[in-house]
Chain A
Amino acid sequence: MSNQKKRNFQIEAFKHKVVVDPKYAEKTWKILEHAIHEIYNLNASGLSFEELYRNAYNMVLHKFGEKLYSGLVTTMTSHLIEISKSIEAAQGGLFLEELNRKWNDHNKAMQMIRDILMYMDRTYIPSTQKTPVHELGLNLWRDNIVHSPNIQTRLLTTLLDLIQRERSGEVINRGLMRNIIKLLMDLGPSVYQEDFEKHFLEVSAEFYKGESQKFINCCDCGDYLKEAERRLNEEFERVTHYLDTRSEVKITSVVEKEMIANHMPRLVHMENSGLVNMLLDDKYEDLKRMYNLFRRVSNGLLTIREVMTSHIRETGKQLVTDPEKSKDPVEFVQRLLDEKDKYDGIISSSFANDKTFQNALNSSFEYFLNLNPRSPEFISLFVDDKLRKGLKGVSEEDVEIILDKVMTLFRYLQEKDVFEKYYKQHLAKRLLSGKTVSDDAERSLIVKLKTECGYQFTCKLEGMFTDMKTSQDTMQGFYASHPELGGGPTLTVQVLTTGSWPTQPSVTCNLPAEMLALCEKFRSYYLGTHTGRRLSWQCNMGTADIKASFGKGQKHELNVSTYQMCVLMLFNKADRLSYKEIEQATEIPAPDLKRCLQSLACVKGKNVLRKEPMSKEIVEDDAFFVNDKFASKFYKVKIGTVVAQKESEPEKQETRQRVEEDRKPQIEAAIVRIMKSRKTLDHNNIIAEVTKQLQSRFLANPTEIKKRIESLIERDFLERDNTDRKLYRYLA
């Protein structure tokens, strides 16, 4: 008994852990699974959030996380398979709408499922490194819907078809498109790229290849570019409306390639409407469009630039080498300026002031301007013309503008020293004849030249101005010290420093006695105030105002040159003089005298002398009389000298020669400067360096440089290396 009793009281060993209801997990999961079904069936209003949340919590807490998670995967997958069937069943246009609707439902369901499984999402999933609920939902959607074989291709073709329809002008439901594209993007960038973008770009390339072929065969260049621009904007707009912004670069580059890059040469050279025609016809809009479109593709701008450059060079070359057009230097330069203005305008308004285009323009001008060796002379003549008369009544700003433009042409000149020579001559004439319109304009141009080429370039020009100024003072001093001269003829002397002024052969002539006396007085006055100087008269540059009365008593004041004065004064003592007599009396050089007589006797309205026989040319046997019938409306009559405005052929040769002569010491100086710092240098490098140093003034000729080197070797400035004959040494 007792034993039995004892046995009864024996406590059983505690063999099992306390186990919750074995069906607990299953039951709880059933509740949650039901809830997920209800959520997908849009029937969630009857669910108690608190209960579901607590159940999910408990499952994780009781180590049923794995069951919960795998259950979720299975349930969600089965729903997605249902969904994919209903999407597949959607007819035609309803397909995308159904897809969109189901996607929205799925998103909402995912959110709600995540809400009730929040505890699992936060604790169980990170510690087991599983996919979080939201991401899991996206992955399952991707695998079961977007990558389902019946949907994948249909989705792609539907999307591409819609885009194709929009491209051909139909209106499509952009909102729906945006939602579907957003769906693909939400599934991750790779889904969007692989399942849509890649194909989209391929189809687009195909489309634009066809488009461009179609248009290029029936449109002119301008219209084609308009079309390309429109298409580009259209694609840009498409991206902003419903594609991923990162697609913009890709799709525009497709359009750029198919519409522009592949057809560039054809577009640029298109007959009657290509780039050259646009330039000729000033089609700013078209040019701008071409620039903006071509800029997008590699080598696009290069193509435009090359065509533009060769066009400018070609037209420029025609301009400067056409002998007809270089007859009138002013017209010639004006044409160049107009051409420059035109292209400046095009570059600023159509080519966005692109530096590379400006450089191309500059190099083109430099190229053709220097094709004509007379360009420096012409530019100087143009300035001369402007400063003589062209600037009358023009405001200061406009003067500046014209001078600045001339300076741009000047910059293109390679032979700046030739320009300097001519400019000096022309300036001298302007100054001595007092014909310069505006001192300010003259000085402003000198300043410009100075900033461009340095002090050395303009010091002589400035010296000329100083001479003019000091001469004025000298004359005042002269008359102040000789008050007795008030009644007689007035003498104005300009004392010119030799070297500053263009060298002229010092030609004297026999001045009339009255003048000669006056000149002597001035000479003694001047040499009295300045010791150690020499004065020699340059009659060929002077002018005179003389009073004359003619047969019927008409009185005139004649403005003539010094030579002309000498001639006319002879007629105070004689009525008739032969050419020979005049030549003897005045000793004016024959060509000058002929020109002087021509202007006195042969110019209509200014013929104060009469010539026998009447003819245009002056011959040695001619005789001259005072023209008693001379009449003029004006009291003052200006008698010009018949001068060839342009240089005559021999004069030109002479100027050239002088320029060449002047270059020699400059080249030598440059060689010595370079060798002094380098000590030894080989031939090619010397040539290169010298050319570079002298670039701002002229383009040195290599053979000339070589000659200068030889000359320097002769004079022991340099020597050749004993072993390497191409090497020079500097001898200090």
Chain B
Amino acid sequence: MGIQRDRVKFNVGGRIFETTSTTLANAGRNSMFGAMFDGDWNFQSETENSGGTGTEYFIDRNPDCFSVLLDLLRTQELHLPPNIPEKLLYREASFYGLLDHVRSAKWGQFNGNRLRLSRSVAGQAPGDGTAIRAGPDGGCCVAHGSMVHVYDWMLEEHPPISLDFQRVNDVGWVDSENVVISVCERLGRGNGGMGLFSSSSGELRHRFQVNHDNQIKSFTAGALSFSQDYKIFSSCRGRSNEYGIGVWDQVSGKQVDFFYEPPGWSLGDADKLQWLNGNNCLLVATLFPRKDNCYISLVDFRERKMVWNWSDISAAITVDEKRVRDAIAMEESNSVCVVNEFEDLGFIDLRVNGGSVRWSSRSRLMKGKMPDEPCYPKLALHEGQLFSSMNDCISVFCAPDWVLTSRLRRSYGGSICDFSIGGDRLFALHSEENVFDIWETPPPPII
């Protein structure tokens, strides 16, 4: 009889389901089942009153999807029969308040060596892609020219974002609801710069401003980075040589600092910013071919100075001319990893100033000729795995010796011009055909 009392009978759109209150409890309080179960709604007592045979609980919804979702609550796994469109399932999960359950069951914890191509999404934007950025909950946004297209984790597209229709330089997620985009200055009108947008509705929520000598100046915003203490960093170029790094508060949206670039150095038109949490510093990298030389530095905003820097100004140009094309700081090994156009990895020690690049001996010469539209390599780091894109594939290297362990390749769409990791997904943007791929780690095996 004890088992009897635990049983619950549902009539969903005409089909009868029986389950237990324990299974339903897996849905959590913040779901429809959680609310039904709460003492306030006399759910339990009604079941008891019916003498164990059980009153049916009628729910006016799709029974097929209910069965999938009930299974999800039973097993924490998601198995979608081919006859049910994904979108329908999402709609039903949203009704019951189980969307988060679906999302966490859909793909597993990120591991660069277990990635599978999940989907490719084609867009309609004209021209080459600029950047792709993964959101914290599995969504992404893609910048093409002056437009940013936002996709949620279900890969539903939301209204696109644009700031005065100026050319987008970088995009970043503040959280799953908010996106910052940095764009070129609108010449002569004093617009452009940086804006904060709602990722779901696409509306502009805040426009960031730069003050020089207590005067608001228009500016071109470049690379973006975010710190855990709620700051936004962006490289900025003003009209009258006000080059440097601007800092804003994420909560108030106000400018809190501006670090002017020192003479003979480059910060204002950086290609990449990276906040280093352990060192409390910002990595700023300005690279060839944006400038004739490469400048990489660490800026400490508390001491208001560059605490580390490296440049290839003085380095002799060799025959094969290895130029740094992307850089990423690796705090655990106290080094900066760089990559050249032949996808050779190099390392610079962060503990000494003025060190040189130690190029990895695993150098591979380009086989065959370069594609028509070459895309320069990019780097990303995720929990001890280093990712490097080259032409149409992404290589995965593992710490500590950065051994090549996997290669992600897909022939459709041409070279990869940018990629990003976040929300346990890897997004790769192709330069042709306007396509991006979503790579996921499958859920763990049953045993």
Chain A residues within CB distance 8 Å of chain B: 44-45, 47, 49-50, 53-54, 57, 108, 111-112, 115-116, 118-119, 122-123, 126-127
Contacts and interface: CB of A to CB of B under 8 A. Distances in A.
B179 to A, nearest CB: 14
Contacts of A50: 36, 57-60
Contacts of A126: 177, 200
Contacts of A122: 30, 97
Nearest to A116: B35
A54 B12 CA distance: 13
B76 to A, nearest CB: 21
Interface string B24-38: 000000111001101
Contacts of A118: 30-32, 35, 97
A108 B40 contact: yes
Contacts of B94: 119, 123
A108 B39 CA distance: 10
B198 A49 contact: no
A115 B59 contact: no
Interface residues of B, number: 21
Nearest to B201: A127
Given A119-B95, A123-B94, A112 B201 contact: no
10 contacts: A47-B41, A50-B57, A112-B38, A112-B40, A115-B41, A118-B30, A118-B97, A119-B97, A126-B177, A127-B200
A122 B41 CA distance: 20
B185 to A, nearest CB: 29
Interface string B92-128: 0011010000000000000000000000000000000
Contact of B95 (A45, A57, A111, A127): A57
Interface in B173-204: 177, 198, 200-201
Nearest to A123: B94
Contacts of B411: none
B42 interface: yes
B37 to A, nearest CB: 10
A117 to B, nearest CB: 10
Contacts of A44: 40-42
A45 B42 contact: yes
Contacts of B30: 118, 122
A670 to B, nearest CB: 46
Contacts of B200: 126-127
Contacts of A54: 59-60
A118 B31 CA distance: 8
9 closest A-B pairs by beta carbon, nearest first, are A115-B35, A49-B41, A112-B40, A127-B200, A49-B36, A45-B42, A50-B59, A127-B201, A54-B60
Nearest to A127: B200
Most central of A108, A115, A127 by chain B CB within 10 Å: A115
A112 B97 contact: no
Contacts of A123: 94
Contact of A112 (B41, B59, B60): B41
A111 B34 CA distance: 12
Contacts of A127: 198, 200-201
A466 to B, nearest CB: 61
Interface of chain B: mostly helix, strand, loop or mixed: mixed
Nearest to B35: A115
Contact of A111 (B38, B42, B58, B60): B38
A115 B38 contact: yes
A67 to B, nearest CB: 19
Nearest to B91: A61
Contact of A53 (B35, B38, B177, B198): B35
B47 to A, nearest CB: 13
Contacts of B42: 44-45
Interface in B35-88: 35-36, 38, 40-43, 57-60
A215 to B, nearest CB: 50
Nearest to A50: B59
Nearest to A39: B40
Nearest to A57: B95
Nearest to A61: B95
Contacts of B201: 127
Contacts of B36: 49-50
A50 B40 CA distance: 14
B345 to A, nearest CB: 42
Contacts of B59: 50, 54
A119 B60 CA distance: 15
A183 to B, nearest CB: 20
A392 B32 CA distance: 92
Contacts of A111: 38, 40
B13 to A, nearest CB: 12
B60 A49 contact: no
Contacts of B60: 50, 54
B111 to A, nearest CB: 31
Nearest to A114: B35
Contacts of B32: 53, 118
Contacts of B43: 49
A50 B10 CA distance: 11
B266 to A, nearest CB: 39
Nearest to A117: B35
A50 B60 CA distance: 8
Nearest to B42: A45
Interface in B400-442: none
Nearest to A128: B201
A589 B43 CA distance: 121
A335 B94 CA distance: 89
A106 to B, nearest CB: 13
Given A112-B40, A126-B200, A127-B201, 9 more contacts: A44-B42, A49-B36, A53-B32, A108-B40, A112-B38, A115-B38, A118-B32, A122-B30, A123-B94
A50 B95 CA distance: 11
Contacts of B177: 126
A45 B30 CA distance: 21
A135 to B, nearest CB: 15
B214 to A, nearest CB: 31
A608 B31 CA distance: 117
A380 B174 CA distance: 80
Contacts of B41: 44, 47, 49, 112, 115
A46 to B, nearest CB: 10
A515 B411 CA distance: 126
Contacts of A47: 41
A126 B58 CA distance: 29
B354 to A, nearest CB: 41
A49 B97 CA distance: 15
A116 B94 CA distance: 14
B251 to A, nearest CB: 15
A118 B43 CA distance: 17
Nearest to A44: B40
A47 B40 CA distance: 11
Nearest to B43: A49
Contact of B35 (A45, A49, A108): A49
B150 to A, nearest CB: 13
Interface string B314-332: 0000000000000000000
A115 B30 CA distance: 8
A155 B279 CA distance: 52
B204 to A, nearest CB: 13
A244 to B, nearest CB: 25
B40 A115 contact: yes
A127 B36 CA distance: 25
A118 to B, nearest CB: 6
A274 B58 CA distance: 82
A45 B46 CA distance: 10
B190 to A, nearest CB: 28
A6 to B, nearest CB: 42
Nearest to A115: B35
A127 B158 CA distance: 12
A37 to B, nearest CB: 16
Nearest to B99: A122
A200 to B, nearest CB: 32
B386 to A, nearest CB: 36
A189 to B, nearest CB: 18
